[in-house]
Amino acid sequence: MRGGDIQIDPGFDGEYGKVNIFSRQEKQDLRGEKSLLFVLPTPRVSKKEKSVPSRGVKKLGVKKRSAPLPKTAQLAREPGLLEGLNPGQKQAVESKNPAILIQAGPGTGKTRTLTAKIAYLVSEKKTDPNAILALTFTNKAARELTRRIDAFLPREGNKVLASTFHGFCLKFLKEMFEFNAGLMEDRLRLELIKKSLETAVQTDLTAEKKTGGFSGKKGVVQLDRLISLCKQRLLGPDDDLSSLAGSGDAGVLRQVYTAYQQQCHEMNLVDFEELIFLFYSRLVAFPKALVQVQKRFAHIFIDEYQDLNLGQYELVKLLAQTSNLVVIGDPDQSIYGFRGSDNSYFNRFATDYPGCEQILLTQNYRSTQAILDASFQMISRSAENNGSQKIFSNLNTAQKLIVKETATQTAEAVAVGKMIENLVGGLSFFSMDTGRMDAEKMGAGNGASMGEKEYSFSDFAVLFRTKKQGDVFAAVFEREGIPFQTADKTNQYSQDGIQQVLSLFRIITSRANSQDYQTLRDHFKSSSPKTDLKIGKAREGHMVEILQPIYSLARERDSLACLEIFIDFLYLGKEIRQNNRLAGAHENLIALASLYPDPREFMDYLVLDQDPDHLAGSVEKVSLMTLHSAKGLEYPVVFVTGCEQGLIPFARDGKICDNLEEERRLFYVGMTRAMDILCLTYAQKRRIYGVSQKRQRSFFIDDIEKKLAQYETSVMRIRENKKEIQLELFGKDIS
């Protein structure tokens, strides 16, 4: 209890609370469920490695690769390491082939196979952990890999490096090259691109011709996307850019790209997409540095190989020239084409590495067979030939696929909330407070009544195509007391009380944009009487005078000290303590500041952070996230919402879908996140840009045999006899 290992749920709406000794995951482990290779010990917190700046190329401390582990070291796993693996997983672990391609469908134990393979190398083949590199796409996935791998390793000694592609490149740019630039955030990047476009206009009398098809805010966004694609494809401003912008606009793109890079250089900043391009270019330019990295890593593992873009693909080929390479993924789950990913790299692996071993994993340990059958029927309609393989599950339970029609987007959120209520067994007043009842009696024909297990709030995920849809669920859940968390980096850090603190961090680390100064100016103008002097100066526009004390206070202080100094300077302490959401965000910043004591590294990490990294795994809350953020996650109960033409598949103009096959794969990813129950919901009407529009159910649902699903219509009506104030919210027309 004192150690915080006991989870206490206070209960809701008069229901008794619960004291949980074990989490759901721990219960599964103790029951012997195959969610992991074996029951893992409590992960240890390792000290953060320090990187020492150097000039030019720094020689890495390359250790002998096959150095045996100390005899006194006690590994986490003594009984048979291969115990519990299915034949395909065992084949992957024991294979001696220097190049292995593993096609792993959803829920087939991808991470488990990777970890077992790495553990086998360390424990059975006596490979030095320091010679193993594992790359993935999110910090959350990298941390999970590290946690599982560390369970196999001795407490002392070398560690396997598990990192994201961008984090890996940043680490070695700092360790090997004279690299001390900071990472800029989205707002500053767009601001610099806008300035670059304005410069292109001012330097030519024929402005309209000079800017080509790029003008206004939309033009800035287009140029931002194109410059990012250039870097993903390893193209600099002087390269041929006509394949991206066309011959007519390539000249404008080149000029803006050049001006943008010059501004970044002057500010000593780089953007997110620059990291891989820069590291790859340095390795090509400095062969000795490349050899050092190749000697360091004898074994390279790549997770989610189907999501590689050209830059990542070429980097892997470069690093793996002399190394053993294991890649794992599923071309049916390639969903990041908008950021340059291409599943054709997965399909050409055998061509790139002749003689490679190809292994197929088809046994699913996550979902019921009904969910797998439905998702396979949908994805098999794809026009692409990705070699889709039907996966199977031994979880042959009752039908758990529901298709639910609702009246509007708010009715959709209410219906989802009620199903959560029924499955949790708490929130007993939610239906009453809404002032509405289902046309059918509770429990009769209601999809929520299908639940045979006991669920808690952390067992639910609500997925949607756009973040705007998530706002409706957040509003309804907040009003009705359903605890939730959102996988939304911007939402967390843009709150009043947090964004001001981060603006100060950006200023002292020389990566602020104009909005940061405006945010602080507005804050001081609306501050309490305690800050009269600051208010006056802010109104006069004298922000430099206001912020002058901060530079001296923050000088040579670590991130944690700066965090507290800034909160005190902004008089935000009381506001943060009194607001649960702010307090939660503040706690996250404290944790990060403790891990990254250098304020510049602290801000770099915030840039590397992505939406899925903001989901806490140990809290009793419903998870709200986009379909893209759900990649790699799993939940007992999943709601895929907004299953309507224009949303799924997504069409920016509401009519034409840019990439239908990728949208199909995205829907497939969403469906296969579900373990026990999958509910697909859609609305008859939805507000689009403030206008209520009739909606049509997604034709992806029509690709599923009707016999696999239970179809429901959520018809809501106002309760009679009572007209209480608390019922007014749902007594109005839900639209």
Instruction: Pick 231 or 17 by higher pLDDT.
Output: 231
E-assigned strand segments in 96-208: 99-104, 132-136, 161-164, 182-183
Residue range 161-186, pLDDT digits in tens: 999 999 999 999 999 998 999 999 99
Separation CA 286–CA 279 (nearest Å): 10
Side chain identity at 514, as an amino acid letter? S
What is the torsion angle, in degrees rounded to the nearest 10, for the CA atoms of residue 238, residue 240, residue 241 and residue 244?
A: -150
Categorize the per-residue pLDDT at 12 as very low, low, confident or very high, splitting at 50, 70 and 90. very low
What count of Cα atoms within 13 Å lies in the side-chain half-sphere of residue 682? 20
Bond prior to 237 in cis (omega within 30° of 0): no
**Given the DSSP bridges, would you call strands 622-626 and 460-464 parallel, antiparallel or unpaired?**
parallel
Question: Is pLDDT at 654 greater than 50 in this prediction?
Answer: yes
Check if the beta carbon of residue 116 is closer than 8 Å to that of residue 85: yes
Lowest mean pLDDT among 26-30, 66-70, 229-233, 705-709: 66-70
- Please identify which residue in the block is written with the tokens 């968390």: 485
Nearest to 309 by CA among 344, 275, 351: 344
Categorize the per-residue pLDDT at 272 as very low, low, confident or very high, splitting at 50, 70 and 90. very high
Check if the beta carbon of residue 40 is closer than 8 Å to that of residue 152: no
Separation CA 733–CA 735 (nearest Å): 6
Categorize the per-residue pLDDT at 13 as very low, low, confident or very high, splitting at 50, 70 and 90. very low
What count of Cα atoms within 13 Å lies in the side-chain half-sphere of residue 215? 8
- Please identify which residue in the block is written with the tokens 């373990």: 675
Question: Is pLDDT at 9 greater than 70 in this prediction?
Answer: no
Residue range 444-501, pLDDT digits in tens: 344 444 546 789 999 999 999 999 999 999 999 999 899 999 998 888 888 999 999 9
Residue range 615-631, pLDDT digits in tens: 887 789 999 999 999 99
Question: Is pLDDT at 275 greater than 90 in this prediction?
Answer: yes
Categorize the per-residue pLDDT at 28 as very low, low, confident or very high, splitting at 50, 70 and 90. very low
Using CA atoms, how far residue 129 sits from 58, 145, 472, in Å, is 21, 13, 47
What is the pTM for the complete model shown?
0.82
Q: Mean pLDDT, the chain, as a whole number?
A: 82
pLDDT at 615: 84
Nearest to 505 by CA among 580, 558, 584: 558
**Given the DSSP bridges, would you call strands 7-9 and 18-20 parallel, antiparallel or unpaired?**
antiparallel
Q: Which residues are within 8 A (CB) of 595 and not within 5 positions of it... i.e. 6 or more apart?
A: 48, 605
In three-state secondary structure terms, 711 is: strand
Q: How large is the average pLDDT for residues 73-82?
A: 48
Helix, strand counts (H, E) of the chain: 30, 23
